[in-house]
Amino acid sequence: MLFRTLAIGAVALTALLPAAAAAAAAAASSSAAAASSSAADDVYLVAGLRGANQVGTPGDPDGLSTVALKISGTEVSFAIRWDKVDVPKSAHLHIGAKGTNGAIQLDLIDGQLPRTALGVAGTTKADPAVVAALVANPNGFYADLHNAAFGDGAVRGQFHRLNRKIDLRGVLHGADQATISSSNDGWWLRPASASSMAYTATWSGILPPVSGSIERVSPQAELFEDPDGLQPNLTGIAGEAPVDPVLLRGILAAPQNFAGVLRSLEGGVVSERLSPKAPVHPRALTADVLLGAQIYACTQQGGTTAFTQFDVSAKLRRSIDHSFVQPVAGPPQWVAPDHSAVRGTVVTRTPNGAGNIPELVLDATQAGAGTGLLAQATQILRLNTKGGVAPTGTCTLGKKASVIYNADYLFLG
């Protein structure tokens, strides 16, 4: 078995222009500056990417992705998960406000990934000036993914700073509970259908893997393959791969008879025995609004009448219901069909253009079942908002108005 510490090469960075750095620092809020005053504190940033956010050229109309960063000094760990997007060949971090294009400041992915991949995780080094500007003003930077179909960018999203730490492996894995673990917790697996397996594999201290599979003496379920080896700074991959139905049933019936196996460029093998014990792990879920309205009531405001927030009523993907616990007083709540639920407390508001309600970062408080879709959530983000602002002008006291809106909600653990 071959082991060695991953040698992460120096990443070529576009030098941050002094004017751009100064502008980024000037735009930073005092709260963000205070929160980042201690260099010893890790900083967590998240971007929710959509094709509609691309500037200059059309993006993927259906695609979305989540990019999460953990910044420790000049070391940047990342997790990227995508959906309804062809496998990316590159992912970058750019300087640039919403609606503008800017220079690449950091490469996260560089090179084609296995066709079964739906996410990757890794670590790289960043220029100290880039880190300082990014921490000071996350919303002045964006991430984008490029693939063969959208070479100029498939999806894009601005960064937001989180109030709490999250587990990047949860972002890599996605929303669904794994049902099979491995002896050293390097593998999380679940059946995605009668003929496919969803997988999450993570590693450290080994040569770049060329393949990952579920093996006995025979047969074998190939989950991912890259003959040239994955890029050296990657430490995890997740995806979904076809598996012979008979073999899949055998794995599910007796996982302990199989092992998750990583093979490296120089013939090294890392094998972990599987277990029928379901792992306890964080999740990361993006649920967009399928049908939603911000509800306002006409109230007295300093001698005049105006519409103010009364409630919200929305149905999100995966049948998550969103409303206020109590009209006016709140707080906002999200309830899943499995009875897991969270309530939110707003931490930051970011304007998102005229006619759109602001983007939000909220702390999540558990308010439902101890297991389930939302049971691991500690932070909630409302991103990519459209519409929903209160009507303007005078109104009749007591009258209510429902204003249609759209948004993506990210639940992170």
3-state per-residue secondary structure call for 69-87: EEEECCEEEEEEEEECCCC
CATH code of 192's domain: 2.60.40
Q: Does residue 7 lie within any of the structural domains?
A: no
Q: Do 390 and 357 fall into the same domain?
A: yes
Residue 8 has pLDDT above 50, yes or no: no
Q: Does residue 9 lie within any of the structural domains?
A: no
Could you tell me which residues are beta bridge partners of residue 119? 81, 238
Per the structure, the count of domains in the chain is 3
Contact between 359 and 47 under an 8 Å Cβ cutoff? The reply is: no
> Mean pLDDT in the chain?
90
Q: Do 264 and 293 fall into the same domain?
A: no
**Is pTM, for the whole model, over 0.95?**
no
Q: Do 57 and 117 fall into the same domain?
A: yes
Q: Does residue 5 lie within any of the structural domains?
A: no
Q: Do 216 and 161 fall into the same domain?
A: no
Angle at alpha carbon of residue 403, lines to 399 and 409, rounded to 5°? 135
Q: Do 62 and 153 fall into the same domain?
A: yes
Q: Does residue 4 lie within any of the structural domains?
A: no
Residue 33 has pLDDT above 50, yes or no: no
**Residue where a domain stops, chosen among 114, 138, 172:** 172
Could you tell me which residues are beta bridge partners of residue 44? 70
Taking the alpha carbons of 143, 364, 327, 341 in that order, is the dihedral positive or negative? positive
pLDDT band at 24 (very low <50, low <70, confident <90, very high): very low
Nearest-angstrom CA–CA distance, 276 and 267: 29
**Residue where a domain stops, chosen among 172, 198, 220:** 172
Q: Do 314 and 185 fall into the same domain?
A: no
Closest listed residue to residue 310, CA positions, set 325, 329, 292, 333? 329
Q: Does residue 192 lie within any of the structural domains?
A: yes
Q: Do 271 and 147 fall into the same domain?
A: no
64: three-class secondary structure by DSSP: strand
Q: Does residue 6 lie within any of the structural domains?
A: no
Residues 6 or more apart in contact with residue 30 via CB below 8 angstroms:
none
pLDDT digits 0-9 by tens, 96-143: 999 999 999 999 999 989 999 999 999 999 999 999 999 999 999 999
Q: Do 65 and 157 fall into the same domain?
A: yes
Q: Do 104 and 211 fall into the same domain?
A: no
Report which of residues 117 and 266 the model is more confident about: 117
Q: Does residue 11 lie within any of the structural domains?
A: no
Nearest-angstrom CA–CA distance, 6 and 122: 11
Nearest-angstrom CA–CA distance, 13 and 105: 5
Residue 270 domain boundaries = 178-275
Integer-rounded Cα Rg, in Å, for the chain is 22
**Residue where a domain stops, chosen among 216, 248, 275:** 275
Q: What is the pLDDT of residue 301?
A: 82
Mean pLDDT computed over 195-209: 95
Nearest-angstrom CA–CA distance, 117 and 225: 10
Q: Do 384 and 271 fall into the same domain?
A: no
Total Cβ atoms within 10 A of residue 19? 8
As a whole number of angstroms, the longest Cα–Cα distance in the chain is 80
pLDDT band at 363 (very low <50, low <70, confident <90, very high): very high
Q: What is the pLDDT of residue 40?
A: 52
Q: Does residue 72 lie within any of the structural domains?
A: yes
Please list, residue by residue across 3-14, b when 16 or more beta carbons sit within 10 angstroms of its beta carbon and e when fewer do. eeebeeeebebb
Residue 38 has pLDDT above 80, yes or no: no
Q: What is the pLDDT of residue 330?
A: 96
Tell me, rounded to whole angstroms, the distance of Cα 9 from its chain centroid.
25
Q: Do 161 and 182 fall into the same domain?
A: no
Q: Do 250 and 395 fall into the same domain?
A: no
27-31, 163-167, 201-205, 267-271: least confident range = 27-31
